[in-house]
């Protein structure tokens, strides 16, 4: 039995489990012998993953299809799994809102703030009460490298992740007395639909995309040992160097890099659009 399972078993709950980092975390936990509650909106994807995990790792699963941004969704989730002995909770579901702040539709910004801030906070609070009674439990909050500084064109997203970083760092100290290990995982660019669908040419930004499996491995190795972990060496350097320079410098640098990457994406799109008619 893995040391993680001995410490936090028998059930883990992962939101955002239908894709990307959440899915990789769910798979890795099942591999370590955890039964897993899989949460996201797309029931079919969750069902396929559940069957795969049960067959491959002989674990039990529960699927909860839920739009967590809906009012009351977290309480409903809690009620749906209240009979299970959950020892590890990972609210990984998150979305971005790329684009200039004033150009964004406020309703979509609000939806992002709900999913990225309110939902993980409520999950940590509601499930935290129960985890505290177990004495040995864990919570992994998912922030981002972009939570370490302001990022032009990702203003609300970066701010939402800065909130998660601060919340998690604080809970790491506060909940330690109740036996709950809290970790904030900050991925950098990761190869998932989240980054793949952005209108941006990440090749123009000096970053290396990691695989979600690598990010998941980093998180599960760090929980219980540190309050925060940034996945990937270069990402660690980006997060670390910010402490020694004026805060405005990296914000301006990333403003320049991201604008350039958006323009590069747009030029590629325009080139494709101009070539396409003659190739028909
Ligand atoms: N990929 C990156 O480069 C990167 C970098 C830094 C941080 N992160 C963070 O890592 C986390 C996971 O991102 P990812 O890259 O794995 O993205 P992803 O592949 O797009 O997965 C996002 C997950 O969130 C779920 N989700 C979205 N809206 C939801 C809602 N309203 N209710 C319930 N579930 C919802 C999605 O499932 P359904 O569509 O089925 O609901 C999906 O399972 C996010 O918090 C993100 O901010 C990602």
Nearest CA to ligand 1 atom 19: 20
CA of 21 to the centre of ligand 1 (A): 7
Task: Report the pLDDT value the prediction gives residue 276, as an integer from 0 to 100.
Answer: 66
Instruction: Judge whether 40 and 19 are in contact, CB under 8 Å.
Output: yes
Task: Report the pLDDT value the prediction gives residue 223, as an integer from 0 to 100.
Answer: 98
Task: Tell how far CA 68 is from the center of its chain.
Answer: 14
Residue 148 designated active-site: no
Task: Report the pLDDT value the prediction gives residue 8, as an integer from 0 to 100.
Answer: 96
Task: Report the pLDDT value the prediction gives residue 157, as an integer from 0 to 100.
Answer: 98
The residues of the chain scoring below 50 in pLDDT are 280
Taken in order of first residue, the domains within the chain and their CATH numbers are 3-279 (3.40.50.720)
Q: Which residues line ligand 1 (CB under 6 A)?
A: 15-22, 40-42, 45, 67-69, 92-95, 115, 142, 144, 187, 189-190, 192-195
- Cα atoms in the 13 Å half-sphere on the side-chain side of 44: 0
Task: Report the pLDDT value the prediction gives residue 280, as an integer from 0 to 100.
Answer: 47
Task: Report the pLDDT value the prediction gives residue 2, as an integer from 0 to 100.
Answer: 83
CA of 161 to the centre of ligand 1 (A): 13
**Spatial distance between the Cα atoms of 149 and 216, rounded to a whole number of angstroms:** 23
Supply angle C-alpha 97, 254, 168, rounded to 5: 60
Task: Report the pLDDT value the prediction gives residue 216, as an integer from 0 to 100.
Answer: 98
Instruction: Judge whether 127 and 13 are in contact, CB under 8 Å.
Output: yes
Task: Report the pLDDT value the prediction gives residue 278, as an integer from 0 to 100.
Answer: 54
What is the secondary structure of 65-104 as a DSSP string?
A: E--TTSTTHHHHHHHHTTTS-EEEEEE-------S-GGGS
Nearest CA to ligand 1 atom 20: 194
| 261-279 residue pLDDT tens | 999 999 988 888 887 665 5
CA of 256 to the centre of ligand 1 (A): 26
Tokens matching residue 215: 């990010």
Short-list 216, 143, 147, 241, CA closest to 184: 143
């Amino acid at each position: 039995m893995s040391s993680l399972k001995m410490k936090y078993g028998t059930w883990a709950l992962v939101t955002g489990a239908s894709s990307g980092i959440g899915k990789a975390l769910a798979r890795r936990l099942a591999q370590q012998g955890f039964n897993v509650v899989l949460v996201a909106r797309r029931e079919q994807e969750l069902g396929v993953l559940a069957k795969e995990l049960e067959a491959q790792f002989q674990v039990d699963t529960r699927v909860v299809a839920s739009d967590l941004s809906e009012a009351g969704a977290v309480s409903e989730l809690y009620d749906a799994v209240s009979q299970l002995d959950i020892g590890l909770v990972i609210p990984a579901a998150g979305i971005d809102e790329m684009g200039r702040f004033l150009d964004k539709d406020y309703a979509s910004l609000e939806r992002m703030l709900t999913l990225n801030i309110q939902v993980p906070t409520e999950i940590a609070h509601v499930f935290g009460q129960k985890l505290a009674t177990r004495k040995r439990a864990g919570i992994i909050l998912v922030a981002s490298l972009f939570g370490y500084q302001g990022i032009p064109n990702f203003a609300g997203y970066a701010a939402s992740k800065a909130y998660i970083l601060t919340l998690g760092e604080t809970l790491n100290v506060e909940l330690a007395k109740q036996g709950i290990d809290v970790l904030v995982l900050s991925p950098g660019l990761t190869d998932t639909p989240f980054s793949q669908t952005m209108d941006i040419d990440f090749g123009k930004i000096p970053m290396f995309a990691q695989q979600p499996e690598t990010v998941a491995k980093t998180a599960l190795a760090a929980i219980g040992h540190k309050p925060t972990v940034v996945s990937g060496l270069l990402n660690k350097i980006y997060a670390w160097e910010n402490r020694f320079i004026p805060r405005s410098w990296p914000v301006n640098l990333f403003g320049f890099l991201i604008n350039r990457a958006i323009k590069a994406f747009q030029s590629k799109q325009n080139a494709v659009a101009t070539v396409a008619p003659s190739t028909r």
